[in-house]
Amino acid sequence: MTSYLCGIDIGGTFTDCVVVDQAGTVITAKAPSTPGNFTNGMMAALTAAAEKLELSPEKLAQSITHLAHGTTVGTNAVVQKKGAKVGLITTRGHNDVIHIMRGSRGLSGRDVQKVVHFAESSKPDPIVPKRLIQGVSERVDCFGKIVVELNEEEVRQSIKRLVDQGVEAIAICFLWSFLQPLHERRVQQMVESMAPDLFVTCSSELIPKWGEYERTTAVALNAYIGPETTAYLRKVEEQLSQLGYSSPVQITQCAGGTIAIERAVKAPLLTLDSGPVSGVMGAKYIGEAMGYSNIITTDMGGTSFDVGVVFKGEPAFSFHSLVNQYEYFLPKVDIQAIGSGGGSKVWIDEVTGTLRVGPESAGAVPGPVCYQRGGRVATVTDADVVLGYLSPDHFASGTMQLDKAAAEAAIGEIADRLGMDLYECAAGIVKIADFQMADLIRKVTIQKGFDPRDFVLFAFGGAGPVHAGVFARELGVQKIIIPQRDTASVWCAFGSAAADILHISDQVDIMSSPFDPARLNAVIGNLKTQALEQLIEEGVQAEHQQFRFTFDMRHKGQIHEVEVEIDGDQIEAAQLEPLRTRFVVNYEQLYGKGASLPGAQLEIVAVRCRATAQTPKPHIPAAEVLTEKIPESAVRRPREVHWPDLGPKNDTPIYDGHQLVPGNQISGPAVLELEMTTVVLHPGQHLTVDAWGNFEIEL
Amino acid sequence: MPRISEMPDTLFDGVSQAYVPPEKLRISDRLKLHREWEQNIDPVTYEVIRHNLWNINEEHGATIQRISGSPIAMYALDLNPSLLTEDAEFIYFGPYMQYMSGVTDTQVKWILENRSENPGIQEGDMFLANDPWVGAAHQMDVMLICPVFHEGELFCWVTNCLHQYDIGGITPGSFCPAARDAFDEGILIPPVKIVENDVVRKDIEDLYLRSSRKPEMVALDFRAQLAGNISARERVLALIQRYGPRTVKGVMKQIINHAEKAFLNKMSKLPDGVWQERTYIEACRPGDRRTHRVILTVEKKGSTLSFYNEGSAPQDGAMNATYSGWRGSVMVAINELLCWDQYFAIGGALRHIKFDPSPGTFNCANFPASVSTAPVQAMEISLYPAYNAISKMIFPDPQMRKDIFCIGGTSQWPATIFRGIDQWGERYGYLLIDPIGGAIGAFSHADGINTGGQARTPICQLPNIEHTEQSFPLLFLYRKEIPDSGGAGKYRGGLSAESCFIPHNTELITQDTLSSGNALPTSPGMMGGYPSTTNQYQFLKKSNVLERMHAQNMPEDIGELEGKSVTLQLRQENFTQLPEDVYAVRWSGGGGFGDPMDRDPAEVQADLENFLISPNAANELYGVVLTADGEVDTALTEAKRSEVRRNRVNGGQPGHRSGKIILEAAEYLNVKQDENGSFWTCAKCDADLGDLKDNFKDHCQLEEKEISRSNPLIGDPIDFIDDQVVYRQFYCPGCGTLIENEVAIASDPILRDILLRM
């Protein structure tokens, strides 16, 4: 019997489904997303895929051996601030941890002008109000030693008070619980017995890391999205099982792999932001097939601009995340939100009379002027329309008519005030936006030790390929790749399907050099045992199991930590010196040559285990025949486009991107229109459709 | 004491007197300046290069943080990079430690004047400097200053400043609260060429590191500063390469011109006048029980702002700052209140700002005064009054009014300097960094921000308790926000917090205190808003905390514990803390804005529910009466507030004088005009408050109270100072609205905080 791999990803508009058979043949299908009851859209997408395979949905479900699903339920709850009513139990005296935060009002990632303008820099609403935070007597010290035993009577009263106030979930975080989790586990048991219907989560189980603010925030957020995510996932599981799917449902997580649904219902936090991560994983996967190991991914939409990095075939990681100004611990593929996309507003600094773009965004509503949704402030997208980059008739496959006259009026008003010509002004706006993006991408790559010249750039998102031609050139990357094969959004589903099962677990054990291999091996052994249990529980065969171990290391007395991998699952005394060398290499890669202190004492802060189980991979067949001739059906009627270097060009070639075939080559100036995006090919640039159907632009 | 402008014969050369740059710099002919630039740059090129220059400066700061990796650079962000023109005007100044702005351009100007001939300023050079009389907040703030050349001409400067762990002096860490003078403090380095022709001069580096107790840390930080300058210099050169020197320089000049234009535009909307704020420092050396007056005056005449410190106390003990320290402090408030919209391009504003302090005062101290504590004391106390004074100045413009905020938390830093043997058996010394959690004072339209950080370091990081406990042998009993710590007001000041700890896994800790603002509040509110709490040290010897821990009954407040309470003095040295001795440190919060009787009762109720104020404060300070269920009793509240206002009027007989409103001068003060001239009136009831030439306070009902009535957390000043303190409240004689408050030493006259010239 044929068996299948399946990835299903829910986006804002569409739910995408990718099915891959043993031969690697890929089938994609999509259905409209159904907010309020996302499982309906999910089942519709699966049914659509079954139809393409000429199977019944039941037959398909029974034949799927591995189903990975990406959900945005948790992310939506956080963004819309509609999470559960959470109670928090913590160490007595430390109730205010998430209210005090860490000094800068959680401002990392925000525009610096807002940071210094105090009237605009207030703290976010707390996830848990003070009256729902209960401190109980207990204490552990920095050696993990219990200094004060848990006062269970106080715990009982606290749980009762929270239940009486109607909480829907309880989060538990004690100081130093990552070294000594006993007290947290005991409180969790007590909650489970006193209030069995509540969602309960404790920090040592979720994210046993050093730093109580970020750990408490993580566990509070986990509780905040817990009840809704859990209910949703259970429903998914139930419906799939009714169809006949029998393996564990795998859920896409933000660390770039999948976890079994049993883990996801306990740690829904791991699903936060998993959607964009799947895009990076998809890029990594296709990059591998194409022979690129260094990739900058850019996803530029109407309201957001996200950047990720794949270096030497591995996605760049972060262990510190940010949402609504809350900072929290979470191992995740690092995606930096650096701007506001095509919706960036254009404005004139009234006093100085200078032209400015962003960082304020018109958002999706009211959006750019040309969207005709009530937006009155010109945006970058309006400038794109004025220049003719975007076709008023073919935007989003013609599902949305753009009002070019309104865009011209809005940009024209700005041009008049600056004494510029309409097109000169529109081109100027686009140039400012493109150069800003180059500056910002540079910031998030160079500052992490990555030199853009060593990378290719993948451009996703509705607005990405419109602008990538310039910002990628400014950045100095080698080439631009615009992944094809249906739409970019399917890549997320593809990323899910391509992802391995992944469990990341940390144990903090702070030790100074010279290191004691026995102590390290004990920690490694402990982590391995736990991870192994998890994989066995999920039914992963021994031959598919893989374990990698890394240390978070730093100079003693300093802050920066870098991750250093060891060979195998043991460390011997003889490996300690090579370990120091690896640390220095990694440190200087990240922080710059000469940043390391020769001969300084080192610290290991944590040991990390990545347990993976490889899943069968979709195979991406390359076209055997490359065709230079551009199909007739790909050629659309030329139109007028205003190129900054050439001026108005009435006969700019326009192509239907979906009709192009591998081997086609196009020289700029030209515009390629696709279902969800538009590729702007500037004069002098050269585009090739490669053997996989992707567009490559040489710079 | 005369002002600098009144001392034409004195040489302000950065040796015995602080360096004050002359209008025209005396630069050797050996140095060629790049002085040609494009006047007409198209708006697109301008914006592209402007964004790039801002990013160059940001990347410069990020590079220092990456390479340094020290807690000072990463948590306290006690650093700042700058980009200046060839003649040392600020183009951009970073968003980190704001104090450092005032000391940067003076250093560069001094170098231009004093180093352009001998040893000369050449391509590939960098200068190291930390002399507070040339320009540094204190000795630990070490600058590395790099000229950028294009074809043999000095094109611009990139510089940075980074606080060092230890630079010598009698106290580890180089904050020396008991220093007699600068000779007890860290090494002083007037600008010296440490990099020559792109090579670090080993002899100079050795000299620099020799005085430090932590030479390896200082050496690494020096590498970080070096890399920061190099990255910024390379990127400026790349810009020149691409756009040409005339265009890049043209953009630099335009950024400053635009910022100047924005500043002038703001000035044009404000009336001329003089605004003044007064506060006090307590204890300038161990054993001192005096208060030391601090006066900050800002005068606006047309488009020019002048700042004075006349009337401030003479230099004394170990509480001083130099000219550039004081100037840097005032510039923080200028930057944040007047230049935030131009991304700190303060160079434009500076063309119209005069700093004219009186040498010999504690915040414009002459050599060799002790200045190592300046940033936590003399500079804070010079800075925070500037927020209130400038805020009052900009109030009349409805747009700028939104930018106002009252003095914020940690307006004096209650330092806890401690040392001993840590849990790992190693020697350590540290200063508890928790007060950086601060608070932001109330806005003119909203409450302040609880533990919102320190305004002078807009981005900083408070260490987690687990980080502090890992590094030092402490066990924190609590760190919590303190109800009532924010000043009461129509808009409440932000709350501050308190940290409380015992020694743990060590036999004892040796402690020093260094504080001020414990007797009288240094975060007074504004326009009727009340002060925040004072700083407070609480020390309980031989407490029962260990028994409580054993009994699984942890305290949530030091007040729950038994023991022998010891009043710590503000510069107490070498006292011992044993594991049963509990130490709690509270820092001051944000001041309130407007009369608390005007606060929406629903907000008062919400504050109670969120534990931000006490029931007592709700009743006493806000006049809100609650029902048994904790709901606001609207009728009783209205009645109580009316009674409070009636009592304030106390039979006063206000006059009424009709006229046309010509200015909203403050929350409760209008200026009206009739045929006889301009006069003050109450903005709420229109009562006549006297001719504009009068101090409106003289026409108010004055009530003098004990300072402890201004905030429920303020105690008796006698614990720390001998002077008598008074809390003055000025009520409208017509409606009883609280127009303004004053915290003062009783012998000081009523302050004239607003004098308008219109």
DSSP line for A681-693: E-TT-EEEE-TTS
Query: Would you call B464 and A151 a contact, using CB atoms and an 8 Å cutoff?
Result: no
Q: Is B235 helix (H, G, I), strand (E, B) or coil?
A: helix
pLDDT of residue B630: 83
When CB atoms are compared, the residue of B42, B74, B343 closest to A559 is: B74
Residue A110 in domain? yes
A residues 134-193 near B, CB within 8 Å? 135, 137-139, 141-143, 147-151, 154, 175-176
Q: How far is A638 from chain B (nearest CA, A)?
A: 29
Q: Is A270 helix (H, G, I), strand (E, B) or coil?
A: helix
**pLDDT above 50 for A584:** yes
Interface check A589 vs B, CB under 8 A: no
Residues B294-341: pLDDT tens digits? 999 999 999 999 999 999 999 999 999 999 999 999 999 999 999 988
Residue B749 in domain? yes
What confidence category does residue B634 fall into, taking pLDDT thresholds of 50, 70 and 90?
very high
Half-sphere exposure of B141 (CA within 13 A, CB side): 34
Among A672-681, B80-89, B556-565, whose mean pLDDT is lowest?
A: A672-681
Residue B256 in domain? yes
Predicted TM-score (pTM) above 0.95: no
Both B557 and B611 in one domain: the answer is: no
Query: Would you call B479 and A96 a contact, using CB atoms and an 8 Å cutoff?
Result: yes
A residues 497-526 near B, CB within 8 Å? 510, 512
**pLDDT above 70 for A243:** yes
On chain B, the residues whose CB falls within 8 A of the CB of A428 are 42-44, 47
Query: Would you call A104 and B459 a contact, using CB atoms and an 8 Å cutoff?
Result: yes
A residues 91-110 near B, CB within 8 Å? 91-97, 99-105, 107-108
Both B662 and B635 in one domain: the answer is: no
Q: What angle do CA B613, B615, B616 make, to 5 degrees?
A: 100
Q: B460, B454 in Cβ contact below 8 A?
A: yes
Q: How far apart are CA B220 and CA A396, in angstroms?
A: 54
CATH number for the domain spanning A559: value is: 3.30.1490
**SS (HEC) of B454-492:** CCCCCCCCCCCHHHHHHHCCEEEEEEEECCCCCCCCCEC
A643 sits in which H/E element? strand A635-643
**pLDDT above 90 for B495:** yes
Interface check A573 vs B, CB under 8 A: no
Residues A303-335: pLDDT tens digits? 778 899 999 998 988 888 888 788 888 888 998
Query: Would you call B555 and A597 a contact, using CB atoms and an 8 Å cutoff?
Result: no
Both B450 and B565 in one domain: the answer is: yes
Domain extent for A150: 82-225
Domain extent for B413: 409-596
On chain B, the residues whose CB falls within 8 A of the CB of A91 are 554
Both A90 and A208 in one domain: the answer is: yes
Residue A381 in domain? no
Both A243 and A218 in one domain: the answer is: no
Query: Would you call B265 and A349 a contact, using CB atoms and an 8 Å cutoff?
Result: no
Both B659 and B624 in one domain: the answer is: no
Among A687-696, B66-75, B213-222, B380-389, whose mean pLDDT is lowest?
A: B66-75
Residues B208-239: pLDDT tens digits? 999 998 888 898 889 889 989 998 999 999 99
Query: Would you call B464 and A418 a contact, using CB atoms and an 8 Å cutoff?
Result: no
Both A578 and A684 in one domain: the answer is: no
What confidence category does residue A81 fall into, taking pLDDT thresholds of 50, 70 and 90?
confident
Both B544 and B468 in one domain: the answer is: yes
Burial B262-292 (b: 16+ CB within 10 A, else e): bbbebbeebbbbbbbbbbbbbbbbbebebbb
Q: Which residue in A255, A258, A430 sits closest to A355, CA to CA? A: A430
Q: How far apart are CA A296 and CA A283, in angstroms?
A: 9
Interface check B590 vs A, CB under 8 A: no
Both B91 and B213 in one domain: the answer is: yes
Query: Would you call B48 and A432 a contact, using CB atoms and an 8 Å cutoff?
Result: yes
Q: How far is CA A64 from the centre of its chain?
A: 26
Query: Would you call B63 and A104 a contact, using CB atoms and an 8 Å cutoff?
Result: no
Residue A600 in domain? yes
Q: B452, B438 in Cβ contact below 8 A?
A: yes
Q: How far is A102 from chain B (nearest CA, A)?
A: 5
Residues comprising chain B, all counted: 758
Both B672 and B619 in one domain: the answer is: no
Both B613 and B727 in one domain: the answer is: no
On chain A, the residues whose CB falls within 8 A of the CB of B446 are 119, 122
Q: A60, A43 in Cβ contact below 8 A?
A: no
On chain B, the residues whose CB falls within 8 A of the CB of A436 are 51
Q: How far is B492 from chain A (nearest CA, A)?
A: 14
**pLDDT above 60 for A486:** no
Query: Would you call B258 and A352 a contact, using CB atoms and an 8 Å cutoff?
Result: yes
Residue B337 in domain? no
Q: How far is A322 from chain B (nearest CA, A)?
A: 15
Both B701 and B687 in one domain: the answer is: yes
Both A183 and A94 in one domain: the answer is: yes
- The beta strand positions in A157-233, using DSSP E, are 169-173, 199-202
Q: Work out the average pLDDT over A235-241.
A: 93
* Beta partners for residue B141, in sequence order: B163
A679 sits in which H/E element? strand A678-681
Q: A332, A273 in Cβ contact below 8 A?
A: yes
Query: Would you call B452 and A122 a contact, using CB atoms and an 8 Å cutoff?
Result: yes
Q: How far apart are CA A668 and CA A263, in angstroms?
A: 50
Last residue of a domain, one of A195, A225, A255: A225
Which of A89, A91, A92, A104 to mutate to probe the B interface, most B CBs <10 Å?
Answer: A104
Query: Would you call A443 and B59 a contact, using CB atoms and an 8 Å cutoff?
Result: yes
Residue B707 in domain? yes
Residues B445-484: pLDDT tens digits? 999 999 999 988 888 889 999 999 998 999 999 999 999 9
Both B630 and B747 in one domain: the answer is: no
Query: Would you call A118 and B335 a contact, using CB atoms and an 8 Å cutoff?
Result: no
**pLDDT above 80 for B186:** yes
A276 sits in which H/E element? helix A274-290
* Number of domains, chain B: 4
On chain A, the residues whose CB falls within 8 A of the CB of B410 are none
**pLDDT above 70 for A506:** yes
Query: Would you call B48 and A137 a contact, using CB atoms and an 8 Å cutoff?
Result: no
Q: How far apart are CA B615 and CA B448, in angstroms?
A: 20
Residue B618 in domain? yes
Which of A352, A432, A441 to mutate to probe the B interface, most B CBs <10 Å?
Answer: A352
Q: How far is B265 from chain A (nearest CA, A)?
A: 7
CB-based burial label for A264 (10 Å; 0-12, 13-18, 19+)? buried
Both A89 and A220 in one domain: the answer is: yes
Query: Would you call A591 and B69 a contact, using CB atoms and an 8 Å cutoff?
Result: yes
Token pair of B65, please? Answer: 């943080």
Both A594 and A665 in one domain: the answer is: no
Q: Which residue in B662, B599, B665 sits closest to B632, CA to CA? A: B599
Last residue of a domain, one of A613, A645, A679: A613
Both B726 and B644 in one domain: the answer is: no
When CB atoms are compared, the residue of B66, B436, B466 closest to A211 is: B466
* Number of domains, chain A: 4
Query: Would you call A116 and B549 a contact, using CB atoms and an 8 Å cutoff?
Result: no
Residue A143 in domain? yes
Q: Work out the average pLDDT over A507-536.
A: 92
Share of chain B above pLDDT 70, in %: 100
Query: Would you call A92 and B467 a contact, using CB atoms and an 8 Å cutoff?
Result: no
Residues B697-707: pLDDT tens digits? 999 999 999 99
On chain B, the residues whose CB falls within 8 A of the CB of A93 are 476-480, 500, 554-556
Share of chain A above pLDDT 70, in %: 96
Neighbours of A156 (CB within 10 A): 14
Nearest CA in chain B to A124: B449
**pLDDT above 90 for A201:** yes
Q: Which residue in A308, A325, A432, A277 sits closest to A111, CA to CA? A: A325
Angle between helices B215-243 and B245-268 (to 10 degrees): 100
Q: How far apart are CA A189 and CA B700, in angstroms?
A: 64
Residues A275-290: pLDDT tens digits? 788 888 888 888 888 8
Token pair of B547, please? Answer: 């028994």
Q: What is the rounded radius of gyration, in angstroms, for the C-alpha atoms of chain B?
A: 26
When CB atoms are compared, the residue of B402, B476, B479 closest to A119 is: B402
Residue B429 in domain? yes
Both A105 and A186 in one domain: the answer is: yes
Which of B72, B480, B495 to mutate to probe the A interface, most A CBs <10 Å?
Answer: B480
Q: How far is CA A56 from the centre of its chain?
A: 34
Nearest CA in chain B to A427: B44
On chain B, the residues whose CB falls within 8 A of the CB of A148 are 549-550, 552, 554
Residue B266 in domain? no
Q: How far is CA B17 from the centre of its chain?
A: 24
**pLDDT above 70 for A511:** yes
Both A173 and A102 in one domain: the answer is: yes
Q: Work out the average pLDDT over B399-424.
A: 93
What confidence category does residue B271 fall into, taking pLDDT thresholds of 50, 70 and 90?
very high
pLDDT of residue A487: 46
pLDDT of residue B431: 85
Both A674 and A605 in one domain: the answer is: no
B residues 611-630 near A, CB within 8 Å? 611
Q: Which residue in A117, A601, A559, A439 sits closest to B77, CA to CA? A: A559
Q: How far is B220 from chain A (nearest CA, A)?
A: 7
Q: Work out the average pLDDT over B70-94.
A: 86
List, in order, residues 6 or more apart from B738 with CB less than 8 Å away: B528, B595, B596, B597, B648, B668, B729, B730, B731
Q: Work out the average pLDDT over B409-417.
A: 92
Q: B523, B441 in Cβ contact below 8 A?
A: yes
Asked if the ipTM is above 0.90, the reply is yes
Q: How far is A90 from chain B (nearest CA, A)?
A: 12
When CB atoms are compared, the residue of B465, B497, B611 closest to A212 is: B465
What confidence category does residue B598 fall into, taking pLDDT thresholds of 50, 70 and 90?
very high
Residues comprising chain A, all counted: 699
Last residue of a domain, one of B581, B596, B611: B596
Query: Would you call B227 and A113 a contact, using CB atoms and an 8 Å cutoff?
Result: no
Both A197 and A122 in one domain: the answer is: yes
Both B712 and B572 in one domain: the answer is: no
Both A213 and A238 in one domain: the answer is: no
Q: Which residue has the tokens 């944000």?
A: B590
What confidence category does residue A544 fall into, taking pLDDT thresholds of 50, 70 and 90?
confident
Query: Would you call A591 and B67 a contact, using CB atoms and an 8 Å cutoff?
Result: yes
When CB atoms are compared, the residue of B449, B552, B553 closest to A122 is: B449
Last residue of a domain, one of B579, B596, B613: B596
What's the mean pLDDT when you consider all of chain B? 94
Q: Is B34 helix (H, G, I), strand (E, B) or coil?
A: coil
Q: How far apart are CA B233 and CA A420, in angstroms?
A: 34
Last residue of a domain, one of A578, A613, A648: A613
Please report, for residues A52, A232, B101, B196, the alpha-carbon distance to residue A62 in angstroms, rounded to integers and kept in the order given. 16, 21, 68, 74
DSSP class of residue A449 equals: T
Residue A423 in domain? no
B252 sits in which H/E element? helix B245-268
